[in-house]
Each structure stands twice: as structure tokens, then as C-alpha cells.
């Protein structure tokens, strides 16, 4: 690991400012993200329902970019990665400056598992541990703050269509 990588992991906001003049997509301004559709997702927990404004990564480019280069994400925001059919999904945190919670969701909308507080900038593969229809990325720690657990439900048109 280079000294610069260690620095970026320790101080992602400062790294963001340092990288911005390089013109990396999404670092300083992110016009491409404005093209991504926003759709409502509802998390159904023992504590009740929690609406999430989710960007939907529906193209290969959107999926590859994901939440890379973001400086922040609110607890009521996220990104949904839908699949056309259930399959094993592998994610990573390359070029992602903020910790995320990855919520792996079965075809019926049931939360299969949650990988909480993923490590920024890591290239470690994070697997769904079984076939899922979608992944919802939330701000790091949001799942715990919301009370979301495996077995809870996620409502979105994707899961209605799968039924």
C-alpha cells in the first residue's frame, strides 16, 4: 500500500479535494449522476417503515461507478443495484471514499444479509453469499441506525415484479 493510499484512507475528504483538480468523473461535480433515475425504496423493520430515496444503477456504467467518489450520503439516501434475475453478487469499495452498508436482497424483497461499514477504498470482494435480485447501498452504519436486519423486507417495484 502506498503512502498516498494510506493518506486517502485516513482522510478521505482531504483526498477528495486533492483529486478534484484532476478532473476525475464525479469527484468535483457529478453531472453524470443527475442522469440516474431516483426511485422510492421502503425498508420495513420491526420499528416501522423507512423511506429511502434511491438512485437506480440500471446501466453497466452506472453499476461500475456506483457511489464512487462521493463525499457523503444521508441515511435516507442510497443506491439500488437491480439484477434481471437472482444470482451471486460480488461488490467492492474501489474509489469509494465513504463507508457503506451493503444490503443484499432476495427476489421476494427479503434482506438476505448486510455487510455493514465496508472499508473505503478497499478492493476486498464482498459477496452476497447466495443468489440475490438486488443490492441496496446505504450510508455506513445506516442499517443499524434504522434497525434493518436480515429477514426484514424491502419494498420496491423490482420485488413486486419478481413475485
pLDDT in tens, 85-125: 999 999 999 999 999 999 999 999 999 999 999 999 999 99
CA pair distance 158, 163, nearest whole angstrom: 9
* CATH number (domain holding residue 35): 2.60.120.1140
Give the number of domains in the chain. Answer: 1
pLDDT in tens, 19-52: 443 344 444 334 344 578 999 999 999 999 999 9
Q: Is residue 25 part of a domain?
A: no
Q: Is residue 40 part of a domain?
A: yes
> For the chain, what percent of residues have pLDDT higher than 90?
75
* Domain housing 88: 30-162
Q: Are strands 126-139 and 153-155 parallel, antiparallel or unpaired?
A: unpaired
Q: Is residue 19 part of a domain?
A: no
CA pair distance 82, 31, nearest whole angstrom: 22
Contact predicate 27/69, CB 8 Å:
yes
CA pair distance 46, 147, nearest whole angstrom: 7
Joined grid coordinates for residue 39: 426511485
**Binning pLDDT at 50, 70 and 90, where does residue 6 land?**
very low
- For residue 8, give the 3-state DSSP assignment: helix
Q: Are strands 48-56 and 77-91 parallel, antiparallel or unpaired?
A: parallel
Q: What is the pLDDT, as a whole number, of residue 35?
A: 75
Q: Is residue 7 part of a domain?
A: no
What b-and-e string marks burial along 12-28, b requiring 16 or more CB atoms within 10 Å of the CB? Answer: beebbeebeeeeeebbe
Task: Measure the CA dihedral 112/117/121/122, to 10°.
Answer: -60
Amino acid at each position: 500500500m502506498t503512502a498516498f493510499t494510506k493518506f486517502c484512507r485516513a482522510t478521505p475528504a482531504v483526498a477528495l479535494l486533492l483529486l478534484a483538480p484532476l478532473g476525475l468523473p464525479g469527484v468535483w461535480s457529478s453531472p453524470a449522476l443527475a442522469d440516474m433515475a431516483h426511485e422510492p425504496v421502503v425498508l420495513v423493520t420491526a420499528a416501522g417503515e423507512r423511506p429511502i430515496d434511491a438512485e437506480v444503477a440500471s446501466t453497466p456504467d452506472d453499476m461500475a461507478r456506483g457511489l464512487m467518489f462521493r463525499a457523503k450520503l444521508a441515511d435516507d439516501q442510497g443506491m439500488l443495484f437491480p439484477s434481471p434475475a437472482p444470482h451471486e453478487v460480488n461488490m467492492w469499495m474501489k474509489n469509494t471514499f465513504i463507508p457503506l452498508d451493503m444490503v443484499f436482497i432476495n427476489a421476494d424483497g427479503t434482506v438476505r444479509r448486510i455487510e455493514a461499514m465496508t472499508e473505503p477504498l478497499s478492493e476486498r470482494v464482498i459477496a452476497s453469499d447466495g443468489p440475490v435480485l438486488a443490492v441496496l447501498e446505504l450510508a455506513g452504519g445506516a442499517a443499524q441506525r434504522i434497525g434493518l436486519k436480515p429477514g426484514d423486507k424491502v419494498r420496491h417495484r423490482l420485488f413486486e415484479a419478481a413475485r
